[in-house]
Structure 1
Amino acid sequence: IPNTVVSDNGPQYSSQEFQRFSQLWEFDHKTSSPGYPQSNGKAESAVKTAKRLLHKAKASGRDPYLALLDHRNTPSQGLESSPAQRLLNRRTRSLLPAKNSLLQPQVVQVEQALFTNQRRQCAYYNRSARDLDALRSGDTVRVQPFEPHTEWKLGKVKRPVDSRSYEVEMDSGAVLRRNRRHLRRARVVPQMEVVDIETVNTPGTHADTVISQQSPHTQGDTCNGDGAKTTRCGRVVRQPQRYKDFTT
Structure 2
Amino acid sequence: MAILFLDRPKAANTINLQLTIDVNDALDELDRDPSVRCILLTGAGDRHFCGGADLREIEQLISPEGVVGDSRRDFISHIEEVSKPVIAVINGAAMGGGCEIALACDFRVMADDARIGLPEVCFGALPGGGGTQRLPRLVGLAKAKELILTGRQLSAADALAIGLVDGTAPREQLMDAAQAMANQLADKAPYALAAGKRLLNQALELPLSEGLALERRVVRDMGTPQEREEFRERSKRASPTYESIFSPKAGANR
Structure-2-length-normalised TM-score: 0.25
- Which of the two has greater helix per residue? 2
Q: Indicate the structure (1 or 2) with the bigger Cα radius of gyration.
A: 1
Indicate the structure whose relative CO is greater, using CA pairs within 8 Å and at least 6 residues apart. 2
Q: Report the TM-score, using the length of structure 1 for normalisation.
A: 0.26
